[in-house]
């Protein structure tokens, strides 16, 4: 245990000296860095969620022609997408970390509440389609930035 503490102490000492010769960026250098290191917009991710979910919903409707399936799919999409829109609005306002964490927890709570309300709001729930929509819509959080980075449509 003592060796581990000594190693941690030595690592802390080395971190201070590694930043000694670092110069801050100029305004031009910072602008150039921003152009080459893009950040995906939360609104673009939300847009991808909607586009992919609606497209897959149309495929499901075309194949199954089951109204419960398509309604469940759209409800599952909305249960994730609507709170994501709220959260995207908060993120673009660049709040403090505490506010961001609070709204992330609110978003997750709204997701759960909307999913729990599905049997009350829908006449017949096709759970496979509803949960499939949830999985696809949630996975767009990481798939959309990868696709946008590949094609640079940010």
**Tens digits of residue pLDDT in 43-91:** 888 998 899 999 998 998 889 888 889 999 999 999 999 999 999 999 8
Q: Domain of 59?
A: 43-151
Number of domains the chain contains? 1
Other Cβ atoms less than 10 A from the Cβ of 86: the count is 14
* CB environment 53-67: b (16+ within 10 A), e (fewer): beebbeebbeeeeee
Comparing C-alpha atoms, which of 87, 84, 82, 79 is closest to residue 132?
Answer: 79
| Mean local confidence (pLDDT), 108-114 | 95
Has residue 78 been placed in a domain? yes
| Mean local confidence (pLDDT), 121-145 | 90
Has residue 145 been placed in a domain? yes
85 burial class (0-12, 13-18, 19+ CB within 10 angstroms)?
middle
């Amino acid at each position: 245990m003592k060796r581990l503490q000594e190693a941690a102490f030595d690592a802390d000492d080395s971190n201070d000296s590694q930043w000694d010769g670092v110069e801050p960026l100029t305004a031009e250098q910072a602008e150039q860095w921003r152009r080459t290191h893009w950040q995906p917009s939360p609104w673009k991710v939300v847009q991808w969620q909607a586009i992919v979910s609606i497209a897959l919903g149309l495929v499901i409707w075309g194949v199954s022609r089951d109204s419960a399936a398509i309604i469940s799919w759209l409800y599952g999409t909305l249960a994730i997408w609507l709170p994501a829109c709220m959260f995207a609005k908060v993120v673009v306002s660049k709040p403090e970390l505490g506010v961001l964490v609070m709204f992330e927890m609110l978003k997750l709570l709204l997701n759960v509440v909307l999913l729990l309300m599905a049997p009350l709001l829908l006449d017949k729930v096709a759970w496979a389609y509803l949960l499939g929509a949830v999985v696809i819509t949630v996975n767009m959080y990481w798939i959309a930035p990868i696709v946008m980075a590949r094609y640079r449509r940010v």
